[in-house]
Amino acid sequence: MPALFVKKEDKVLDLSGKDRGKTGRVLRVMPAAQRVLVEGVAFVKRHTRPNPAKNIKGGIVERESSVHVSNLKVICSECGEPTRVGHSVLEDGKKVRVCKKCKGILDK
């Protein structure tokens, strides 16, 4: 299982599907399934049963579904462009993710 290039709180661009071109923030990463939950992308409708104990109303609820990590590109915080992710080791020995376009550091 390869390591994922996406981390929680990254801003990403959706490359395929019905939400192609939308951007959002990563809410959750599921490395075993290689899937990511992105805010505002890939909405699905769920039919929920009311549960008064948990104060849940019944009906049809829209919420985000997961997206495969291969359909995403990270948006660089420095240049603002969707980019591939490289890796680099700093002078202090810390390994960081790097933007392939502007060589800026993605990890803060």
pLDDT of 3: 83
Residues 20 and 60 in one domain: yes
The single-letter code of the amino acid at 50 is P
Give the separation between CA 89 and CA 82, rounded to whole angstroms. Answer: 22
Strand partners, 72: 14
Could you read off the pLDDT of 9-40 as tens digits, one per residue?
999 999 999 999 999 999 999 999 999 999 99
Domain CATH code at residue 69: 2.30.30.30
Residues 11 and 64 in one domain: yes
Residues 65 and 108 in one domain: no
pLDDT of 69: 95
Could you read off the pLDDT of 46-76 as tens digits, one per residue?
999 999 999 988 999 999 999 999 999 999 9
Angstrom CA distances, 78 to 73, 83, 85, 98, 107, stand at 15, 11, 13, 11, 11
Q: Is 57 helix (H, G, I), strand (E, B) or coil?
A: coil
pLDDT of 26: 96
Domain count for the chain, please give it.
Answer: 2
Count of residues making up the chain: 108
Residue 8 structural domain: 1-75
